[in-house]
Structures are given as C-alpha cells and as structure tokens.
Chains A and B, each alone.
Chain A
C-alpha cells in the first residue's frame, strides 16, 4: 500500500468517525438551542450518547407478525445512510480513494433506506406504523424532485456530478459565489432538506402523539438495539444533510494538508459551519409551526419554483432579459 492510499484511508476514517460521533451531539444541540430560545433548560449535551447506550442495553422485543424484513431493516438503513455519508465532504473535500458516485447516488441511497423502512413499518400490522409509512412515502415523492433540481443546477453549472468537485469549484470562486442562482438554489435545497430530515414545518421530531408523527411513527414498533440503530441512522442522515448544506454555504477551508494541526483546524472549522446551520434550523423550528399534512405540497412546490427561477437566471444571465 503506497503512501497516498494510506493518507486517503486515514482521512476516510476520520470522516466516518466524525459523522458517527458528531451526529448524536448535533441532534441534542438543536434541541438545546430550541429549549434556550423557549426559555427552558433542555437536555444535557451528552444526552444523545446516553440514549444510544440505553437503547443498546435494553431488551429487544419485536412483534410476532414480523419477518426477516423487519429485523434486517435497521442494518440496511444504517448502511445505506453511512454510504451516502461517504459521498459528501465534511472537513475535507478531497476525494476518498476513488470517485464513488454523485448527487443522484446520494439521493437514491436515502431512497433505498426509505424503501426498506416504509415496507418494514407495515409489518407489525399496527395502524400508526402503516399510516406513518404511507405519509413518509408520500413526502418522498415531493421531496425528491425538489431536492434534485437545485442540486442538478449545481451539477450543470460546474460540469460535474461529484459533490466534492462542486464544493472545490465553489471554494475557488471566493466571495463572488453568492450569485442569485446560487442563493435561490441553496434556499430550495434547504427547504427540501428540512423535509428530508423530518423537521418542522414538515414533521415534528419531538412529538409524542402518534397521529402527528411521521418519521418517528415508523419506529413505533422498534425497540432495544434495533431502535438504537434506527435513531442513530436518522441522526446520521440529519448530520450528513447539514454537512452538505454547510459545505455548499461556506465552501472554504476544506482542503487540509496531511498534518495533525491542519486536520484539527479544519475539523474545528467544519464543526463551526455545522453549528451555524443547526442553529439556523433551531431558529426556524422555534418560529414556524408545523403545517397541515396536505399543505406540505405547497411549500415544496414553492421551493421547486424557486429553483426553476434559479435555473432560468443561470441560462439567461447576461442575455438582455434584464436579469
């Protein structure tokens, strides 16, 4: 194994470790900020880790209606999520070893996880689970085009499908990157991501009323270790999407030298970026109410139209349309 591959592998391991270790923290961080804004104390910062440990030490009970599909799903959801995590940059926008795939694979890996999650949620035969799963899959049909179009605009503008490459090219542009197209597309990505992360105004991750929950509703029949893995996967997904937005928003400082100082510095910068985006999410969650189920379409359509406008601007830029 030559020196270069070793470097790549080290970066890859740090990347994976960061994602796995940081995701429970970010989840609780958003809760904490929300609590502060609402005048409450909120959970301790390490609550996410305590929760995971608790789930892993509990007994696992499954419904006797279920089959292998139900038990295998947590593992599949976890593995597709972490694989999607390899397709986006965190502290480093250097490619890991070989190019793995781009925007489309990224979105479709989440779909693969979702397919298993929604199918398995119907297994116990509980009406809450199947209702949640039916709503989740309906959301997915709305989210996918809305999140794909702005990403495709980036793909077309920068001539590459690879998210690492897009971030690199963005960072080369300096402060001039904030063009109208860019801003509109990013807002569209952000809105669709809120839905993809199952957050207010689309879904409420903290509700304890079965009829109102969508993502959590699918996990109702999971317990013990399986529940722990499901939670970890959804927190991971949240961190992955936040990292994507953070790195598109602030694409700078993502090319570390292979020294401890440089890597840790960029790690801290990455953490700051993520915290900024998470704080933004917490602010939105505090100020916006959850919308009715069928109004979700209107919000996401607005975001879709925003990205169409972004596309039109990018095509007609400087062509005498007055834009």
Chain B
C-alpha cells in the first residue's frame, strides 16, 4: 500500500497496485474452507481486475501521448490531449479507481470482501486501502488531467452523494457487524468524494483557495475515517473473538461483560456519526462548508446543487446515527439474546491497547483539530498548485463566514455537565438510587421483549423502501446483463476453437499477415 503511493511512474504504480490487491486477496480467502470466503475472494478479484483493466488502458493512453511511463511526464500530457479524450480518460479513471474505493454501483465486492478478512485486516482494508483509490483519483485529476471543465466536478459530486446515501441506507438493514462497517466505509468514501467534487468545481472556476479548503476537508475525512473505522473494526474483532458471532441479533448486554470495548465502540460510533467533540464532526463540518460555499460561484445550477447536497449530507449523517445506535444498542445494550453472550470476557489489555490509542486520537483530533491543519494545508495547497498558504485564516476557518471552537464547546459541555450533576446531588431527595427489575406488565422481563436490531431499523426501512434497493438490484440489472452478454459472446466465439491444429495454424498465419499489412499501411 505504501509502495503504491510512493511510486513515481506508471509501471511501478500498476505493479504495486496489483500486489496490494493480491496480498489483500490472500487475506480475504484467509478462511479458505468456507464457501462464503471463496465467493468473496472471487468477486473481489474479479472487480478489482476490471478496475485494473481500465487503469492499464489509462496508463497506456497516457504513455502514447507522452512517450514515457513516468508520472513527471504525465504532468505534461494534458496539454497534448484533445478534450474528448480527456473526458474519456476521466471516466476510465473514475471506473478504475472507483472500483477500489467502492463507489456505488462498483461497490459490490466491498461488503463481501471486507467482512471475510480477519478484523485487523478489515480495518486496514477499510481504513487505508480504499483510500488508495481516492489517492489515484486526486493524483490523476488534479495533477495529470488539469485543467478540466466544471462538469467533471459536478459528476464527482453527484457520484459522491449517491454513494453516501445508498451506502448508509444499505447499512441500515444489515445485522452482520462487519458488513455494517463495510457499508459505512462506502458511505464515507461518498463523503470524501463530495468534498473532492466541490474542490474540483472550485478549481475549474479558478477559486484556488476554496478548492484547497475543500481538499483539506477530503484529506481530513480520509484520515479520520481511517482512525475511527480502524477503531470500530478492532472493537468488532474483540467482540467476535469473545462471542464467536458476527450477527448482532445474537448479541446484547455486552456493556456489562466488556465495558472497555463498549466504551471504545461508543467513541467510534460517535465519531463516525460526525457528532460534535469527535474528529468525524470536524471533517464533515469542513465538507459542509465547502458545499455551502458553492453558492458563491457564478453558475445557477451549482448554486442550487451546493445547499441541496449539503442537506442530503445531513441526511446521511442522521441515517448513520440510526445505524450506529442500532449497532451499539444491539451489541451492548439490553439483555443477552443468546447464551453465547453469557461467557464473553473482556479482551486482554494488549488487544485493547491499539483500539484505545485510536479512540484517544479520535477524541483529541475532535478537540484540537487545528494541530493537524498545517499538515493538511501543505498537502492540499501542493495538489492545487498554490504556494503554501494558510487556508485556516485565508479561506475557511476563521473568517466571517464560518468559525468553530471545538475546545470551547467541549469546555462548555463539560461545565454544564458538572453543573447539573452537582445540582442534582445537592438539591432534592437524598435517597440512594434504587435498582429494580424493569416493569413488563407483570411478567419477568425477557430478552424477547426488547426490539431486535432488525426490528429497530424496520421503521427506517419502511420510510426509505424506495431507496432501499437490495443488492440483487445491482446483480440483476447492472452486472447480470454484462455477464450474460459476455457468456453469449463467448458461446458465439466457440466455433472458432474447433480443436483442429491446422485451423489454429491458419489463425496464426492470418494474424501475421494482418499485422504485416497493418504496419505497411
């Protein structure tokens, strides 16, 4: 993975790209005995190869125009190419890198492959590997293909919002903890693409400072997503190793048996739902700002697009909260729904150390985001091609349009928390808190009385039944026609392969003649 982003020319890039895929493939089929894993591995390999095919094509076209595979020479390519070819390349790049990043509808491998791998590998795949797709998109579009028209940005923005909404809606009906996390990765990729799209629009309108600010949002969210997704996946790993199930329907009540994991999972959930005080909020807030500032551009359509996509981003945030309340409540809260849970034990300190560190970082970045801004500023300004300016003061954080003080907010919340806590201790009754059984209309409470995770998200499913296209939709309407077409084609090709050696020799001969004639021409 590291080698992918370090490579300086096309060949190296592709080789490391494939290597990354293959190594992660090995982890996906880690549990080789189960057919589920094998299927997941197959889909993963297939999808990433389709992606790589588009990438290879892109690289070859680039090489044709520049005569070299080095990324430095790619920089000059954009002046040489006609606009239509650039548009085609843009689509190829989106397809190629988008497959890796998991944009809808190219995401189908992601919810299969990520859960199949061991949890810490899933964390790495979800947190970091899909970001290489984002890196690719950024590198190619901003470096090699710029300048570009504004519809590219709008296109990326629309893909981003679709991916974000559908990703999180899919997650709402899942009960497998790792699939929920995988789908939420798709949502987060959507959020990142949103700010990349905004950045591209600003760039094409030559608003470089705003473009850099939007890019900061994208990079920041990538970093944050790696942190909280890593935290959630490692917590999920602890839960799975303690209870031997990934199905949250079978869990419940773990907050008493695994208090530390519960606390860390809560932090991860709060961060991923972009709630204040945690890192997810800061980056999503920046994304909101860049979307809202689209209103300042001189294009009516983009003016409409900005606020509407921003409010839809608010929608995904709310659905995300619903999903993670369901997940958290399903795993940790209430009564255990199966016996499996009863013998769960807290994981060893060495196992929770890693996730604790991630949790602390999520919180610290949420409170002191400005410590990271210089780093992100440098990266973003470099990509946009600006001198290293201080975006914090120039465009985004401290002017009249927007301002936020996470540290002061934290202090205020803390103060009011202690105020009401002390007030309730001093004022009123001095009786100790009494613990009693929950009243369930006269019978002893049972785990069956509470809502299961499926029941919990059922109203959501009813409300958004139109959006809630099941996975089979993609299989039936997008992939199946392609696959069937390919199979039909290969059936038609079959007579060519008669098995007679002489005819094969004829083919070779004809091909040779064809090539010779072509070269002559």
* A interface residues, Cβ below 8 angstroms from B: 53, 55-65, 67, 69, 71, 74-76, 78-80, 82-83, 86, 98-102, 104-105, 107-109, 111-112, 114-115, 118-120, 122-127, 130-131, 133-135, 137-138, 140-146, 148-149, 152-153, 155-156, 159-162, 165, 221, 224-225, 228-229, 293-294, 297, 304, 308, 311-312, 315-316, 319
Residue B477 at the A interface, CB < 8 A? no
Q: How many whole Å from A240's CB to the nearest CB in chain B? A: 13
Whether B334 sits at the interface, judged by CB under 8 Å, is yes
Q: How far is the CA of A159 from the CA of B439 in the complex (A)?
A: 52
- Other A-B contacts than A123-B333, A133-B329, A143-B318, 14 sampled, CB-CB below 8 A, are A53-B428, A79-B414, A104-B285, A105-B404, A109-B276, A111-B273, A118-B329, A127-B449, A134-B455, A145-B315, A149-B310, A155-B307, A161-B292, A312-B304
State in angstroms the CA–CA spacing of A227 and B445 once bound together: 22
Cβ–Cβ < 8 Å partners of A293 in chain B: 459
Q: Nearest-CB distance from A158 to chain B (Å)?
A: 10
Given contacts A145-B315, A160-B401, are A311 and B304 in contact (CB under 8 A)? yes
Q: Is the CB of A134 within 8 A of B459?
A: yes
The interface stretch among B235-243, B319-327, B356-364, B367-375 is: B319-327
Interface footprint category on B: 35 or more
B288 CB–A CB distance under 8 Å: yes
| Interface CB pairs A-B, < 8 A, 28 | A59-B434, A63-B435, A63-B437, A69-B255, A71-B433, A80-B276, A86-B412, A98-B405, A104-B314, A105-B409, A107-B314, A112-B276, A115-B275, A122-B450, A124-B334, A125-B445, A126-B439, A127-B450, A130-B450, A134-B451, A141-B322, A145-B314, A155-B307, A156-B292, A160-B401, A161-B402, A225-B429, A294-B459
By secondary structure, the B interface counts as helix
Question: Does the CB pair B459–A138 fall under 8 Å?
Answer: yes
Which positions in B face A, CB cutoff 8 Å? 253, 255-256, 259, 266, 269-270, 273-277, 281, 285, 288-289, 292, 295-296, 300, 303-304, 306-308, 310-312, 314-315, 317-319, 321-322, 324-326, 328-329, 333-335, 400-405, 408-409, 412-414, 416-417, 420-421, 424, 427-429, 431, 433-440, 445, 447, 449-451, 455-460, 462-463
The 10 closest A-B pairs by CB, nearest first: A56-B428, A149-B311, A130-B451, A156-B295, A145-B315, A79-B416, A122-B329, A144-B318, A138-B459, A141-B318
Q: A86-B412, A297-B463, A316-B300 are in contact. Are A126 and B434 (CB under 8 A)?
A: no
Least CB distance, B261 to chain A, in whole angstroms: 13
Give CA–CA (A316, B462) in the complex, Å.
36
Judge whether B403 and A134 touch: CB under 8 Å: no
Q: Which residues of chain B come closer than 8 Å to A125, judged between CB atoms? A: 334-335, 438, 445, 447, 449-450
Closest chain B CB from A321 CB (angstroms): 10
Task: Find out whether the CB atom of B429 lies under 8 angstroms from the CB atom of A58.
Answer: yes
Q: Is the CB of B424 within 8 A of A119?
A: no
When distances are taken between beta carbons in the complex, the residues of chain A under 8 Å from B459 are 134-135, 138, 293-294
CA distance A162 to B401 in the complex (A): 8
Residues of A within 8 A of B333 (CB): 67, 69, 119-120, 122-123
Q: From known contacts A130-B450, A153-B307, infer whether A161 and B462 are also in contact, taking CB-CB under 8 Å.
A: no
> Which of chain A's residues has its CB closest to B429's CB?
A57
**In the complex the two chains form, what is the Cα distance from A122 to B450 in whole Å?**
8
Whether A159 contacts B400 in the complex (CB less than 8 A), given A82-B416, A101-B409, comes out as yes
CA distance A142 to B459 in the complex (A): 12
Are A65 and B334 in contact (CB-based, < 8 A)? yes
- Residues A104 and B288 in contact, CB atoms below 8 Å apart: yes
Q: Among B317, B420, B427, B458, point to the contact of A134 (Cβ < 8 A).
A: B458
Contact between A59 and B276 (Cβ–Cβ < 8 Å)?
Answer: no
Given A118-B325, A130-B334, A134-B457 in contact, is the A148-B447 Cβ separation under 8 Å? no
A56 and B429 within 8 A (CB): yes
Identify B429's interface contact among A59, A99, A114, A156, CB under 8 A.
A59
The smallest beta-carbon distance between B105 and chain A, in angstroms, is: 23
Among A58, A61, A137, the most chain B Cβ lie within 10 Å of the Cβ of A137
- Minimum distance in angstroms from A180 CB to a CB of chain B: 16
Are B403's CB and A61's CB within 8 A?
Answer: no
* B63, chain A: closest CB distance, angstroms: 44
B403/A225 in contact, CB under 8 A: no
Residue of B nearest to A224 (CB): B429
Q: Which residues of A contact B288 (CB under 8 A)?
A: 104
Contacts A56-B428, A152-B292 hold; do A160 and B433 have CB atoms under 8 A apart?
no
- A75–B420 CB distance below 8 A: yes
Tell me whether A142 and B463 are in contact (CB under 8 A).
yes
Q: Are B314 and A148 in contact (CB under 8 A)?
A: yes
**C-alpha gap A228/B427 in the complex (Å):** 12
Q: How far is the CB of B170 from chain A (nearest CB, A)?
A: 14
- What is the CA–CA distance of A310 and B446 in the complex, to the nearest angstrom? 51
Q: A100-B408, A145-B315 are in contact. Are A63 and B438 (CB under 8 A)?
A: yes
In the assembled complex, the Cα of A71 lies from the Cα of B425 at a distance in Å of: 13
Contacts of A319 in B (CB 8 A): 300
A residues less than 8 Å from B445 (CB atoms): 65, 125-126
Instruction: Please report the C-alpha to C-alpha distance between residue A127 and residue B458 in the assembled complex, in whole angstroms.
Output: 14
Most chain B C-beta atoms within 10 Å of own C-beta, residue among A62, A78, A297:
A78
Q: How far is the CA of A63 from the CA of B308 in the complex (A)?
A: 44
Tell me the complex Cα distance, A222–B343, Å. 30
Query: In the assembly, what is the distance between CA of A175 and CA of B34, in Å?
Result: 71
Q: A59-B429, A125-B450 are in contact. Are A137 and B321 (CB under 8 A)?
A: yes
Q: List chain B residues, Cβ under 8 A from A159.
A: 296, 400-401
In the bound complex, residues from chain B placing their C-beta under 8 Å from that of A102 are: 402-404
Known contacts A98-B405, A145-B318, A224-B429; is-contact A155 B312 (Cβ 8 Å): no
Instruction: Kindly name the residue among A67, A130, A134, A311 whose own CB sees the greatest number of chain B CB atoms within 10 A.
Output: A134
The residue on A at minimum CB distance from B440 is A126
Residue from B307, B328, B409, B433 within 8 A of A61 (CB atoms): B433
Chain A residues positioned under 8 Å from B269 (CB to CB): 115
Contacts of B450 in A (CB 8 A): 122, 125-127, 130
Q: How far is the CA of A69 from the CA of B267 in the complex (A)?
A: 12
Q: Is the CB of B321 within 8 A of A152?
A: no
